[in-house]
Amino acid sequence: MTTALGKRVALISGGTYGIGREITLKFAEHGYAVAAFGIDPAQTAATVESLRSKGLEGYVLTGDVSDPADVRGIVGEVMAREQQIDVLVNNAAVMIRGTLLETTKEQWDRAFAVNIGGMFLLTREVLPHMIARHRGAIVNVASGSGYGGPGRLAYCCSKGAVFPFTVSIAQEYAASGIRANTVVPGNVFPTGMTERDADTPERKRKLERAALASPAGRVNTPRDIANAVFWLASDESETVSGSTLEVMIRT
């Protein structure tokens, strides 16, 4: 996995916890120069330790994907170190729970600022560097909730925006050698968003139903999602763009 300038470089937002950390480790295992970032210093420190314990290389930064200054700083640091970004994984997200009547304007704005606004800011910052080299793979992590669901209106709507975002980029920049695809995780355990209600009867029943519906006889793990993300970023999918890969069972 090398280019004229050396290793290929993957930048991963929300790459310090749950699914994102597994994505970070997956790319590092395959020889990428990995730059991951998240908003929680404790999670970034744990990710550094995860890389170190496996003998993997990579560097981990702290920043808020919804903050334009943080995004510019992170992309600038990666470019200063590596001179290129080959893969961008937009994974950072925040879960906002609540029905329409329970959701405040502040919660609605926060969901959109992170879950789709962060993708916009980071992609806009990275894309010119990819265009300059006439190559790049962008993988956006959506959610099964992006199709709608009860009790998490702001999260569902903000994640639903990922689909047209991806297709628009794929169509607009195909001639510039850029690919963009979406991965849709479904029934993943454990993740940062599912740990808090892992012991509730409702969650246990949902996981049991999901395992029974799966040909694997189990729910997805973060590594399953990381495998899908990696494939869409790799040369093995070089003719795939504007697609949606669902890592879930349709029931």
Domains recognised in the chain with CATH numbers: 2-185+222-246 (3.40.50.720), 189-219 (no CATH)
Q: What are the Cα distances from residue 22, in Å, to 47, 62, 115, 197, 228?
A: 10, 17, 19, 21, 11
Token readout for 72 is 């510019």
* Position 5, amino acid: L
Angle of the 162-173 helix axis to the 117-133 helix axis, nearest 10: 20
Token readout for 75 is 């992309």
DSSP state of 236: G
pLDDT digits (tens, 9 = 90+) for 39-83: 999 999 999 999 999 999 999 999 999 999 999 999 999 999 999
243 and 184 Cβ atoms separated by less than 8 Å = no
Which stretch of DSSP H or E encloses residue 181? Answer: strand 178-185
Q: What are the Cα distances from residue 113, in Å, to 36, 68, 94, 121, 161?
A: 19, 11, 9, 10, 12
Which stretch of DSSP H or E encloses residue 124? Answer: helix 117-133
Q: Catalytic positions, please?
A: 155
DSSP state of 182: E
For residue 243, give the nearest of 178, 174, 162, 183 by alpha carbon.
183
Per-residue pLDDT of the chain (251 residues; tens, 9 = 90+): 444 456 899 999 999 999 999 999 999 999 999 999 999 999 999 999 999 999 999 999 999 999 999 999 999 999 999 999 999 999 999 999 999 999 999 999 999 999 999 999 999 999 999 999 999 999 999 999 999 999 999 999 999 999 999 999 999 999 999 999 999 998 776 665 555 555 677 767 777 777 777 777 788 899 999 999 999 999 999 999 999 999 987 66
pTM equals 0.91
> Where are the strands (E) in 23-86, listed by range?
33-38, 59-62
